[in-house]
Structure 1
Amino acid sequence: MEYEIKKVYEVIHSIDKKGSVESVLVTMGAVLAVFKENSSDMAQVIKSQDVIGKVQKKISELPIENNFKEVMIQEFNEIFTASHTNTLVSALLNFESVIQKNLLGEVFDNLIGIVGVNARELFITPDPINDIAINYLKSDQKVDFHDGTAGYGQTAIKFSQNTPEARLSLQEINPLAATVLRLRIYLNDIDGEVIIGDLIKNPGFIKDNKLIQYDRVFMAPPFAMRFRKDVYEKINEDPYGRFIYGTPPRSQGDSVFLSYGLSATKEDGKAAFLLPQGVLFRGGPEKEIRQRLIDLDLIEAVVALPSLLQPYTAVKPILLLCNKNKSEARKGKILMINAEDLADINKRETILKKDDINFINNIIINGKEVEELSVFVSKEEIRLAQLTPNSYVYKAQTQVNEFGKVTIEIRALEKIPTTQLSELVEIYRGYNASPKDEAEDGEYAVVKISDVQEGKVDVDKLTRYSIKNNAKIDTNRIQQGDILLSVRGVNRKTALFISNRENVLLSQNFAGIRCGKLLDPEYLILYFESPVAQFYFDKHTVGSTIVTLSVKDLNKLPVPLISIEEQRNIVEAYKAEQLTIKEELARLEERQKQLKLQAYESMGIDKAFTIL
């Protein structure tokens, strides 16, 4: 079947002037619907002199809402002009052959699956994600299901197939995608309704001026959507009580759909949301929304999924699984699942195997704690509404430039006497320097990431700035003996500021650390470079695009505290041996150079060049 249906698609797509995948899908779905409704007389239609007109009329007579039929007829007419009558006849004959052996719904579903793999313009929820979400949401009871960002219906159709007595209420903003979805429901004989419209501006499922609630809800909105001003005003003035969990910022729309979906979930219902990982840790209003969901005990599990599992985006996806009627055993806690490393990755795609999907499903449904993969976290243990699973579930390993991959012995680490860094130092933040303030004769110089090389700062090459609003500039000013630690990005850079130059500021990519009397700066830098500290940094960095170590987490870093004299002895012994090694390396490099010159002399080419 796949070969025949793909061949028909490719032929029709080749004559579509717009080159639109959606247009071809709508047209092919409409033709399949005509076959379903007129199976007995399609042979006569194919033989007709006016085959295009006949099919168009049949489309207009389909038992489907007029707004969808208008879309079907428009797309059909744009593709099949009089000059392409033979193409239509060939397509109809191929369809006739295919549907004699297969169910119409399966034919259309297969076509969407085949096309969706390679079409960048089709944003289809990947099957592994659907398998996890649907396994969580499915029911053996009669349930109402709602998806307000339904797209082509991959999730809704699969949910219906796994929950036989499901009634679907679906909304989609894109008329072509909504028409494809409506055709799928018709061809698969599914009980459901599809509404075309903007979910935020014009919610389609309202009754008595209230949002209709459902047993099961799923949402997979576009990642990091930014709302226009008029749409955001609708959110702030919402008359339907859709955003009772909080109003997110205009620039990050993910939480809008989260709040909407939960508001549309019944008091004993479940909801699943496919969102970017940033929704789990961003601050401001989103943090307040997360805290409210934590306080109300609505989150049952958070699943961090592999990067690139969602095609054409490197943003890490997560599944947020919510339950308004948790079992007693799961109340007051959230199951954190870090599945980021489960996938097989090759050059073309990221694959989550069936066994891995079943493994994740088993963890979710049975509430299993698996070492380095899943753990229950109580509401009280959740720090600052931080919901990223890798903050709570992690492998006891880290990658250190000098040593490669290192395993951390957690139990041994817990036995070491330590003191929080905040009790030993003063930590200050960097200055957010603007390029427009750069000036050759500026009063201030700012240390950037690129200015730190091999633990040193070249103060003579720093970019200078003229900063007019300098009322709080002293909080960013570096003093001699301060430690510079980069807090943004994957790699940690450290440097000891040894210059006595004044008016040097730290950029926002750094945290400045000023040691107290009990801590030697060089000892602390040596500790920062250790596998133990690197493991802590890895465990506490968050972010999807640029990872960041927060000052709050840096303050909590456990430091093995010994006397200041012992610290200095360790540092001096290390520096002395380091100097010896450096001198030996220089001697060996010089010896290597001499060996090469001897080799060139033996070749007879030593007189052909002069070393300046």
Structure 2
Amino acid sequence: MNTKQLEAHLWGAANILRGLIDAADFKQYIFPLLFFKRISDVWDEEYKLALEESGNDLDYAEFAENHRFQIPKGCHWDDVRKKTTNVGLALHKALRGIEKANPETLHDVFGDAQWTNKKRMTDEKMLDLIEHFNKIDLSVANVPHDIMGEAYEYLISKFADDSGHTAAEFYTNRTVVKLMTMITDPQPGESVYDPTCGSGGILLNSALHLKEQGKEYRTLKLYGQELNLITSAIARINMFMHNVDEFLIVQGDTLDNPQILENDELKKFDVIMANPPYSVKRWNQAKFSNDPFGRNIWGTPPQGNADYAFQQHIISSLDSKTGRSVVLWPHGVLYRDAELEMRKKMIEADLVDAVIGLGPNLFYNATMESCLLVCRMQKDKKRRNKIIFINASEEIARVTAYSYLDETHINKIFSAYKDFKNIEGFAKVVSTNEVLTEQNGNLTISRYVPKSTADKFDIDTELSNYVEKSNDSIHAVSEFNTYITSNPELALFRKIIKGREDWKRYKFKDLVNNLNKSESKPLDKGLERYVGLE
């Protein structure tokens, strides 16, 4: 089975759920079922191989040593598929049984979907979903790890498209991730950490980066922490689907309770890449001000914005010699007055290596422009006490509603970062002293790399444009309000909606028959009642 065929079939599962549950919740059901089918088919594959090796020794074929994951009696995919009633309960028991049989690797990996809630998922729908997955053989022989991994990532991106504003919680634009990985350049044997790892795409890209270069990727050690239980489970499944074993992904609040420790202190990492939730307002500021891990190295951020709490956690988690980080942020971290003193201390410590401005819409389902803040604990000699500013806001491609960086954009930005030279209108190397004394610690990219003389910011022009656009918006809203309050058809519609308790239920086939017989323009003919769809 090729990648496109598998992707199309897997996405077909979403169509079974469409209308039953919210699109943002599809992942709670489809990812666990997909993984359950995969490990069951692989277990069967391993069992057959062990039988061949042992001359049909049934006991030997079931030995734990012959299987990547253990599947207890009664917990196999085929066991659940035999059920016709209480299917959700049978599935729930099977998934929990597998988790208990693999406590070190699969604890909580199947999430907390409401399998037994028949109001949300009937036996009939559950069976439809199971039969849909049953049509494909997900053994490694039929679907190799690279194809399985690509299809899983495809599903993640499709769910991001479908789930609206929640997408940013688990998905980072993969073209931006590629640029981030090229900048940090993880090497075999190094450790890579993402403190807000979402679905694990940033971590996985580190391994794929080495694999593409023909380097040993299996010695890379991947670590992540994710607040959301379901999302952390998706990340772990993502690793397994890509046949990556050297990882540790834990669930929990990184700021309130960092869990990846060594000798009761924060573990130190060679590489950290992250796309933290921005402008978090609900966080434990009081606890951070007396942080037991000493992460408040520059001070305590304001309650209304935890960005610099995440940034300080990242710096505190870097290895003092090899550590480097790149974080995707909105531009506010570069100039906000509330964080000025913290930002100055970061610059004074010569930690900031580069500030790279990216174009709009690269934050998933958000139109704002973003930037990459690159830090290094030990800079190369030519980069010491200097920062390169790169204005790549025009380096962006767009297809329908999707924005991304193509290979040309990525290579241009990376080359500018690596070469560390001035490029008119695109990149400039600035001393940290200039940033601190002449710009008072403001890292706004346009202060150092204006696009062109004609594009310089003019406050009077911008205010005039803002007022004009605001007046246009106010006028449009006023017109819309007038329309919806005065339109007779909408008034009739509101009257009908208010009488919903008097509506009658129809079987769909009767409704279709009735519609086939219905009058055109019934209101014009004086009919008081007619059949319509809610």
Q: TM-score, normalised by structure 1?
A: 0.61
Q: Which residue of 2 aligns with 1:144?
A: 191
Q: Which is bigger in relative contact order (C-alpha 8 A, separation at least 6)?
A: 2
1:7-46 correspondence to structure 2 within 5 Å? 7-16=12-21, 20-35=25-40, 37-40=42-45, 44-45=78-79
Query: Counterpart amino acid of 1:134?
Result: T
Contact preservation (8 Å) 1:34, 1:59: no
Alignment of 1:182-331 (within 5 A): 182-190=236-244, 191-228=246-283, 231-268=284-321, 269-284=323-338, 286-331=339-384
- Residue 367 in 1 paired to residue 372 in 2? no
Structure 1 SS opposite 2:295: coil
Q: Is 1:175 aligned to 2:235, yes or no?
A: no
Runs of 4+ in 1 over 6 A off after TM superposition: none
Q: Which residue of 1 aligns with 2:448?
A: 392
Query: Equivalent residue of 2:337, what SS?
Result: coil
Residues 324-333 or 18-27, more deviating = 18-27
Q: Is the CA contact 1:4–1:94 (under 8 Å) kept in the aligned structure 2? A: no
2:224 and 2:299 map into 1 onto residues whose CA distance is: 24
Q: How large is the Cα RMSD of the aligned pairs?
A: 3.1
Shift of 1:89: 3.5
1:110 paired to 2:165? no
Counterpart code for 2:446: N
1:38-72 CA-partner distances (Å, limit 9, x unpaired): 23487854763467636842562253558843753
Q: Secondary structure of the residue that 1:61 maps to in structure 2? A: helix
Secondary structure at 1:274's aligned position in 2?
strand
Q: 1:61 aligns with which of 98, 102, 105?
A: 98
Find out whether 1:355 has 2:371 as its counterpart.
no
- Work out whether residues 60 and 69 of structure 1, in 8 Å CA contact, stay in contact via their aligned partners in 2: no
Q: Which residue of 2 aligns with 1:551?
A: none
CA offsets 1:373-430 (integer angstroms, 9 cap, x no match): 0110011221110112111012223269xxxx99xxxxxxxxxxxxxxxxxxxxxxxx
Question: Contact 1:33–1:183 (CA<8 Å) still a contact in 2?
Answer: no
The alpha-carbon distance between structure 1 residues 36 and 182, as it changes in their structure 2 partners (threshold 3 A), is farther
AA in 1 matched with 2:108? K
Letter in 2 for 1:205: I
The counterpart of 2:202, out of the listed 134, 145, 155, is 155
The residue number in structure 1 matching 2:8 is: 3
Richer in strand (by share):
1
**Unaligned residue ranges in structure 2 (runs of 5+):** 1-5, 48-75, 211-216, 468-534
Query: Comparing 105-114 with 55-64, which one deviates more in the overlay?
Result: 55-64
In structure 2, how many angstroms separate the alpha carbons of the residues matched to 1:43 and 1:169?
A: 30
Describe the SS at the equivalent of 2:12.
Answer: helix
Deviations 1:506-550 (A, max 9, x none): xxxxxxxxxxxxxxxxxxxxxxxxxxxxxxxxxxxxxxxxxxxxx
Counterpart amino acid of residue 26 in structure 2 = V
Letter in 1 for 2:127: N
Separation in 2 of the partners of 1:39 and 1:316?
Answer: 49
Q: CA deviation at 1:34?
A: 3.0
Give the deviation of 1:492 after TM superposition.
9.9
Aligned partner letter, 1:169: Y
Asked if 2 retains the 8 angstrom alpha-carbon contact of 1:372 and 1:394, the reply is: yes
Provide the rounded CA distance (Å) in 2 between the counterparts of 1:212 and 1:178: 19
Q: Compared with structure 1, are the counterparts of its residues 223 and 386 closer, same or farther at alpha carbon in structure 2 (3 Å cutoff)?
A: same
Deviations 1:465-523 (A, max 9, x none): xxxxxxxxxxxxxxxxxxxx859747599xxxxxxxxxxxxxxxxxxxxxxxxxxxxxx
Q: Indicate the residue corresponding to 1:86 in structure 2.
A: 127
Displacement of 1:154 = 1.5
Bigger radius of gyration, 1 or 2?
Answer: 1
Distance in 1, Cα, partners of 2:143 & 2:42: 17
Residue 157 of structure 1 and its aligned partner are, at CA, apart by 1.3
State how many pairs are aligned. 408
- More displaced 10-residue stretch of structure 1: 25-34 or 275-284: 25-34
SS at match of 1:122: helix
Cα 1:330–1:304 change in 2 (3 A) is: same
Give the partner amino acid of 1:107.
A
Instruction: State the SS of the aligned residue for 2:312.
Output: helix
CA distance in 2: counterparts of 1:38 and 1:331, whole angstroms: 53
* Offset, 1:102: 4.1
* Closer, same or farther: CA 372–159 of 1 in aligned 2, 3 Å: same
Asked whether the equivalents of residues 204 and 239 of structure 2 are also in contact (C-alpha less than 8 Å), the reply is: yes
1:127 maps to which residue? Answer: 174
**CA deviations over 1:171-206 (Å, ceiling 9, x no partner):** 111111011111112222321111111111111112
- The offset of 1:369, in angstroms, is 2.7
Question: What CA deviation, in whole Å up to 9, does each residue of 1:301-346 have, x standing for no partner?
Answer: 1101101121322322110011111100111100100001122356
Residue type at the aligned position of 2:32: T
Q: Which amino acid aligns with 2:167?
A: L
Residue identity matched to 2:150: E
Q: Could you say which structure has the higher helix fraction?
A: 2
Say if 1:107 and 1:308 are closer, same or farther in 2 by CA, change over 3 A: closer
Per mean C-alpha deviation after superposition, the further-off stretch among 113-122 and 289-298 is: 113-122
Q: Deviations over 1:139-198 (max 9, x none)?
A: 233111111111111111112222413211111111110111111122223211111111
Q: Distance in 2 between matches of 1:385 and 1:341?
A: 25
Matching residue's letter, 1:3: A
Give the SS at the match of 2:292: coil
Taking structure 1 as reference, are residues 189 and 82 closer, same or farther at Cα in structure 2, changes over 3 Å only? same
Distance (whole Å) between structure 1 residues aligned to residue 195 and residue 347 of structure 2: 24
Equivalent position amino acid for 1:395 in 2: K
Question: Whole-Å Cα distance in 2 between the matches of residues 97 and 196 of structure 1?
Answer: 28
**Residues in 1 aligned to 2:126 and 2:382: alpha-carbon distance in whole angstroms:** 64
> Please, which moves more after superposition, 96-105 or 328-337?
96-105
1:192-247 deviation line (CA, Å, top 9, x unaligned): 1111111111111123332111111122111211134xx11111111101121222
Against the structure 1 CA distance between its residues 71 and 92, is the aligned structure 2 distance closer, same or farther, given a 3 Å change threshold?
A: closer
Residue 42 of structure 2 contacts residue 139 of structure 2 at CA under 8 Å; is this kept in 1? no
- Rounded Cα–Cα distance in structure 1 between residues aligned with 2:413 and 2:81: 53
Question: Any conservation in 2 of the 1:219–1:274 contact (CA below 8 Å)?
Answer: yes
Checking the alignment, whether the CA contact within 8 Å between 2:92 and 2:115 is kept in structure 1 is no
* Counterpart pick for 1:341 among 388, 394, 401: 394
1:199 partner SS: coil
**Residues 490 and 352 of structure 1: CA distance in aligned 2, closer, same or farther (over 3 Å):** farther
